Structure 1
Amino acid sequence: MKYTSNAAWLDVVAGDHGDVRIRDSGRLSHMLRELENPGRQHSMMILFLGSEAKDEALERLFEKYVTQNEPEKSNTTIRLQREAEGNDAPVLFTDDELHATLSAQQRGNYLLLFLFCNIVCIFTEDFPRLDRVTHFLLFAAQAGSASTLPLQVRSTALVVLRQDSEPHRLEMNKFHQTITAHRGCIAEAFSTVRTITLDIYSQLRNALQPHLDHAANIHSAHRARFTAVHLDSLFQTALRHTVMTVTESFDHIKKMRIDNKVPENLAFHLTNYIRLGLRAEISVEDLVPSIAFSIVADNYPLRAHCKPPPNTILKLHAKIPVSDSNLMFECLYRQPILEAFLWQCKEQPILSLAPDAACELVRVETNRVFLSMKEKRMPSAELHQNQLMSQSALFCRVRSNRTCLWCRFQKPEHRPDCEHDLCEICVR
């Protein structure tokens, strides 16, 4: 394969038992950490798949692109143009060769790359006929997607045609008809398939920009647009996940909490909290806001979901949440909240709201709190404290040595002068 020696990134090899092994050179992490403000820059990624035409396109994009035949060095390379280091949305260009068969190793590589690529460029000049491009798209779709994010934020497949070799209109019509007929299959890997026609590949940079802008808008709408810090952390987690399994989905919301997991006994603490509130004659409707604020404070602390990279100043970290509040609620909190209300129904059969309705009310309130935090750009802990103060008259009589009444998620370990027991985290 042709590669740029200083751009080598991923090397996919077969393990002793046919398992997936991916060697990471660390180049992605190195490039992301060298950005001017990795905590504020939202990196985007484009994957070029092909052979000679793909290499020609890269030569047009990168003046110092030098290729040589050394296939063992790296299956996948990655580059960042120097002038993009200070951009709000620096674009990473990755490239890989076309593969005739979908081996377990290559499927793992596609699953990993498709998690983070906004656009996958396929060059028709690297195929003998346009129908072979269709076959390749269906072939690539066999890899599917490991993402649990909405279909709209999956990669766009961008088929690049050269005007001097543009297929006949009948051939193009057949291409679009086939894509439409297999839309369900292709949606397993790609959000959409689009085509662009160029005179020369030097026009590719400008042609890509509208598609990058569209991808950025879609990701922002679904709150799935990652900063460089998030991308670095998530990619390393996804790499470990892919090496372990190519059949299980990569749940980025749960993976973001891998070092700060939701307490396993959350349902117990919420049950206890609701019980205490009802005994103090606090209605379910008045309990809901405090639960919602607790959820937001738990899932969106300052510098949420990312580890500090070495030698990175803390102020550079992302402070804006990246995971959709509705997805977060469904993935992490709905079940323990529902269990808490169901358990309460056993103790007190008549509640003002049915468990399902109460749980849905918490979800709606959680989303409202999330939007408020985003609009005000206020730390979740500060919002949480303000909410506690606003309901202090309701909860002043409530005491518990089993559940921290500040976060409602942990066992209390300290009793300050106010005599409201607090957990180790909240007492700080």
Structure 2
Amino acid sequence: MAHCDHVSWLELVEGNGGPFVSYGWRFAQVIQEMHAPEKQFPQLIFFIGRRQKNTALHQLCKSKYRPSDKRDAINLRADRNSVRSSHPRIFADWDPGRRGILPAFNSPKVCHRKEDIPVNWPTTSWQPHDLILARLAFLFCDVICIFADDIGGLEATISLLMTWANIGSSSSLPPHIRPRVLIVTGNTSNTEKILNDNDLFFNIRRGENASLFFSSFMDVKISNLPSNELSPDARYLRLDTELLFELHDARRIRETSGVMFSATHLNALFEDALQHTARDMLIPYNFIHASRKGNLLDGSIVSHLLMFTRQGIRAHVPYEAVASYIASAILMDAYPPSMHGARVISIDGGGIRGIVPLEILTMMQDVLGSELPVLNLTDFITGTSSGGIIALNMGKCQHSVKVSKEAFCQLAKQFFSQHQKNTNRFGRLFGTLFSDGMYDATNLEEVLVGHFGTMRMLSTPSTKVLGWKAAAISSTIDSGSPVLFTNYNSETPPGKKQGYSYVQTDMRDGPYVWQALLPSVNIAGKSYQDGGVRPQNNNPLLLGLSEIRRLWPTTPIPDVVVSLGTCSALMEHSPTVSRFRNVLMDGMLLRGYRSINSSYDGEESWKQVKNLFPAEVRSEQNFLRLNVPFPPGSRPSIDDAGAMDTLSQWVRRRVNMIDIEQTIIVLLLSSFFFELESQPEFHSGLFHCFGSIRCRASARAVIRLLSSLHTSRMDFYKDGVNLGLSLSEKDICDDCRRYCRPVRFFVRHLDEKISLSVQHRGSQRLLSQFPKTVQSFIDQQGLDCSFGLANHGIPLQIQCDTCEMKIKGEEITLCNCILSTGVPSTYGFVRPHHLH
């Protein structure tokens, strides 16, 4: 590991449209020197001057002091004498006579991270250095110590202070949390001291300047240095004492106001304020809002509080008790202690043709075997009409594919055998126009109630396992807008812009399951109808993807989408131009009839939805459509129960087993996901990332099935480079039975998009959520959320000591290798020369 002696905190370098701020993560380096940064509360002293400033800094900042190699930079150092105390001192320093803009092409540093940040400079006569100090650096200072003799005397010092006061502070904290100013002058007589004080009071504390000055600074005082004939220790003893007094007073006020930040929080706030200042430095910086990043308040908090208060009033709970409970909840939320995408199955509607997706699912289950149900490779399942019956049977009732298929066939035959169909398609069309749908809703209700019984959408499943989210598509009768029957609650209503809503009832467990599947139903004073009435919703994929974005906001793009059709006319043949016009065959009535029929074909909706996504998302690897054309001859109608056996056999003949296996492989590999174990560390010009590959399904069954489908060794790759790690059952823990494979690799920068994949059948199959940046993993896992997470740091899975020891062992091996050689071991790594 390269040793770093650089102390530069902030620099201005050449850039397009104005200087860039160059930041070398110096604040974070200083914080790392502290032994318990989450429990230490540092205070920052800013020295401004030249020679006298350097002498004082050398005397008061007890560190391995050496002058900075960048004289135009703002520097930052830790006081070694206080670094282990509860209130460590941090010293910043700058020479106001050095305001140069450094060249953009400096030699890159390999000992520390560095970033040049473009700044949206306001149109003003103020110099960039003054803007950065007033709007950024001073927000985190407790004391500003200006050595007047270094910058031209007291008059020049006052002019500099008024420049910063005119620029103004961007802090949202109260005015008494502003930094204190200590002006240090050389050895002067008592008379000169009195005159200096008078000049200071006259120029700063007079009416027109006082309000301006004290909106940016808490106080201003003058300190006189003794004669330089004294030893350095003796000469700066008084200044050290005065600084300690000012720091103590500043600390007392901060603690009283509740803004005494820990070292961890101070660093996080500074890095956020730096980005804020670069975007728009004229907008005030809100410390409260910054502390909520990664733990944002939900938009429904006001409605929740109102509901809670009303319930308390209704139950005659004392006001003090309600207020105390709310205050406690807010406190817990405000101070919390401190990955993969969804897999979707979408099923089209189509009456008895629902046997088509069920037969496809059966073929998939045949490949998976009995140990790995299709449902275990799914997170969200949605359907319309008959697809809704399948979705609720599997997702809500948690039935297997076999049981769901048997139940569907029984329901269809039981209902449609009672229904007298017209043998003529025109008869069926006119019958539909003069009745409530193509079949008797009363008979259907009896059949569905007999199957689902009194089960409600939000009731606890008989298995006591809550894991699969299911949604059946319906719509309102008055406007036809989509409505979802779901087996889960939503934090907030989707809102008018979403274009759909949820069924709301007064019942705690929601509506009955069978109500979601009726052609028309009245619930809580609102009327709903079969979602397939709107042709665009007969394929429910678009609504399902909208739900994915709401349910998994951090991973809005699903890992895998499997869309199952119910036969399609669009797959039969390409359209041809008719040689003649036949009014009977091509007249308006038949054209309209064919148009209505084709509008319900889910294949067209599939193409439209798929094209909404970028090419890398809608690749054949993870966006899959399984469907068949109609069988030859007359097409089976949606109420022809006798055609189900024929359709099942037709699906078996037409669906390519290669497509089934391809879908299975994608679902299996999407079970593997990557987690960072800690924030990446910067060494030798690269970020060293350490994490582990996990599996969210039964790892042994998944690996064995993948091995049976591909007998060769399956290796993990990063961006096409073999990591030297294979997919093996050996990485399944003997204690917890879960998969854990430690992985290590390099990236040039955290926003570099990477891909982790498995080599399978000669091609690389991406793991869950890849390609992705390392920074997105940091954000998603909250590794840099210094102010805590909404889950209060509660682990999302039971921790296994054996797995943790395995991961820590790999990490220690890595650290020892870097410390001893400066170069990481090659095992599990992508070497630097591969990173291009």
Asked if TM exceeds 0.5, the reply is: yes
Of 288, 293, 298, the match for 1:253: 288
Number of equivalenced pairs: 311
Which position in structure 1 is the counterpart of 2:592? none
Is 1:160 the counterpart of 2:187? The answer is: no
How many Å apart are 1:134 and its aligned residue?
Answer: 1.6
Which position in structure 2 is the counterpart of 1:231? 266
Is 1:61 the counterpart of 2:60? The answer is: yes
Q: Secondary structure at the match of 2:310?
A: helix
> 1:117 and 1:425, CA in 2 relative to 1: closer, same or farther beyond 3 A?
closer
| Higher relative contact order, structure no. (Cα contacts within 8 Å, ≥ 6 residues apart) | 1
Distance in 2 between residues matched to 1:240 and 1:193, nearest whole Å: 30
Is 1:47 the counterpart of 2:43? The answer is: no
How many Å apart are 1:403 and its aligned residue?
Answer: 7.7
1:180-234 Cα distance to aligned partner (Å, 9 max, x none):
1122111122111111112155333233111111111111111111111111211
Distance in 2 between residues matched to 1:115 and 1:145, nearest whole Å: 7
Q: Secondary structure at the match of 2:215?
A: coil
CA contact (8 A) 1:40 1:228 kept: yes
How many Å apart are 1:93 and its aligned residue?
Answer: 0.5
How many Å apart are 1:14 and its aligned residue?
Answer: 5.5
Distance in 2 between residues matched to 1:180 and 1:264, nearest whole Å: 45
> 1:54 and 1:165, CA in 2 relative to 1: closer, same or farther beyond 3 A?
farther
How many Å apart are 1:83 and its aligned residue?
Answer: 2.4
CA contact (8 A) 1:272 1:403 kept: no
> 1:48 and 1:284, CA in 2 relative to 1: closer, same or farther beyond 3 A?
same
1:384-421 Cα distance to aligned partner (Å, 9 max, x none):
xxxxxxxxxxxxxxxxx7889xxxxxxxxxxxxx99xx
Distance in 2 between residues matched to 1:115 and 1:47, nearest whole Å: 11
Which position in structure 1 is the counterpart of 2:357? none
TM-score (norm 1): 0.65
Distance in 1 between residues matched to 2:247 and 2:61, nearest whole Å: 18
Alignment of 1:303-318 (within 5 A): 303=338
CA contact (8 A) 2:40 2:263 kept: yes
Of 200, 203, 213, the match for 1:175: 200
Is 1:77 the counterpart of 2:112? The answer is: no
% identical equivalent positions: 27
Q: Secondary structure at the match of 2:77?
A: strand
How many Å apart are 1:25 and its aligned residue?
Answer: 1.2
Residue identity opposite 1:85 in structure 2: V
Distance in 1 between residues matched to 2:791 and 2:70, nearest whole Å: 53
Distance in 1 between residues matched to 2:66 and 2:491, nearest whole Å: 62
Alignment of 1:74-113 (within 5 A): 75-98=73-96, 102-104=126-128, 106-113=130-137
Residue identity opposite 2:139 in structure 1: L
CA contact (8 A) 2:9 2:25 kept: yes
Which position in structure 2 is the counterpart of 1:359? none
Distance in 1 between residues matched to 2:491 and 2:7, nearest whole Å: 52
How many Å apart are 1:15 and its aligned residue?
Answer: 4.0
Residue identity opposite 2:267 in structure 1: D
Residue identity opposite 1:206 in structure 2: T
Of 139, 149, 167, the match for 2:163: 139
> 1:77 and 1:129, CA in 2 relative to 1: closer, same or farther beyond 3 A?
closer
How many Å apart are 1:425 and its aligned residue?
Answer: 5.5
Residue identity opposite 1:197 in structure 2: N
Q: Secondary structure at the match of 1:205?
A: helix
Please give the root-mean-square deviation of Cα atoms over the aligned residues, in Å.
3.2
> 1:286 and 1:35, CA in 2 relative to 1: closer, same or farther beyond 3 A?
closer
How many Å apart are 1:132 and its aligned residue?
Answer: 2.2
Alignment of 1:200-211 (within 5 A): 200=228, 202-203=236-237, 204-211=239-246
Distance in 2 between residues matched to 1:148 and 1:108, nearest whole Å: 17
Q: Secondary structure at the match of 1:147?
A: coil
Which position in structure 1 is the counterpart of 2:312? 277
1:278-313 Cα distance to aligned partner (Å, 9 max, x none):
33344555432222222112112234xxxxxxxxxx
How many Å apart are 1:65 and its aligned residue?
Answer: 3.4
1:322-358 Cα distance to aligned partner (Å, 9 max, x none):
xxxxxxxxxxxxxxxxxxxxxxxxxxxxxxxxxxxxx
Residue identity opposite 1:207 in structure 2: E
Q: Secondary structure at the match of 1:82?
A: coil
Distance in 2 between residues matched to 1:31 and 1:69, nearest whole Å: 18
Distance in 1 between residues matched to 2:34 and 2:61, nearest whole Å: 18
Residue identity opposite 2:45 in structure 1: I
How many Å apart are 1:35 and its aligned residue?
Answer: 0.8
> 1:275 and 1:84, CA in 2 relative to 1: closer, same or farther beyond 3 A?
same
Which position in structure 2 is the counterpart of 1:17? 17
CA contact (8 A) 2:76 2:90 kept: yes
Distance in 1 between residues matched to 2:67 and 2:9, nearest whole Å: 15
Q: Secondary structure at the match of 1:84?
A: coil
Distance in 2 between residues matched to 1:83 and 1:286, nearest whole Å: 49
Of 183, 192, 195, the match for 2:219: 192
Q: Secondary structure at the match of 1:160?
A: strand
> 1:215 and 1:68, CA in 2 relative to 1: closer, same or farther beyond 3 A?
closer
> 1:36 and 1:172, CA in 2 relative to 1: closer, same or farther beyond 3 A?
same
> 1:103 and 1:14, CA in 2 relative to 1: closer, same or farther beyond 3 A?
farther
Distance in 1 between residues matched to 2:129 and 2:193, nearest whole Å: 36
How many Å apart are 1:119 and its aligned residue?
Answer: 0.3
Distance in 1 between residues matched to 2:25 and 2:219, nearest whole Å: 30
CA contact (8 A) 2:171 2:286 kept: yes
Which position in structure 1 is the counterpart of 2:334? 299
Larger Rg: 2
Q: Secondary structure at the match of 1:86?
A: coil
Which position in structure 2 is the counterpart of 1:36? 35
CA contact (8 A) 1:47 1:117 kept: yes
Q: Secondary structure at the match of 1:48?
A: strand
Residue identity opposite 1:163 in structure 2: N
Residue identity opposite 1:8 in structure 2: S
> 1:231 and 1:171, CA in 2 relative to 1: closer, same or farther beyond 3 A?
closer
> 1:403 and 1:245, CA in 2 relative to 1: closer, same or farther beyond 3 A?
closer
> 1:283 and 1:178, CA in 2 relative to 1: closer, same or farther beyond 3 A?
same
CA contact (8 A) 1:49 1:120 kept: yes
Q: Secondary structure at the match of 2:10?
A: strand
Q: Secondary structure at the match of 1:177?
A: helix
Of 149, 153, 174, the match for 1:125: 149
> 1:31 and 1:286, CA in 2 relative to 1: closer, same or farther beyond 3 A?
closer
Distance in 2 between residues matched to 1:287 and 1:69, nearest whole Å: 60
Residue identity opposite 1:126 in structure 2: D
Q: Secondary structure at the match of 1:66?
A: coil
CA contact (8 A) 2:8 2:76 kept: yes
CA contact (8 A) 2:9 2:75 kept: yes
CA contact (8 A) 1:12 1:106 kept: no
CA contact (8 A) 2:31 2:264 kept: yes
Q: Secondary structure at the match of 2:236?
A: helix
Q: Secondary structure at the match of 1:95?
A: strand
Alignment of 1:320-335 (within 5 A): none
Select between 59-68 and 86-95 the one with higher mean Cα deviation. Answer: 59-68
CA contact (8 A) 2:8 2:70 kept: no
How many Å apart are 1:31 and its aligned residue?
Answer: 1.7
> 1:10 and 1:112, CA in 2 relative to 1: closer, same or farther beyond 3 A?
same
Give the helix-richer structure, 1 or 2: 1
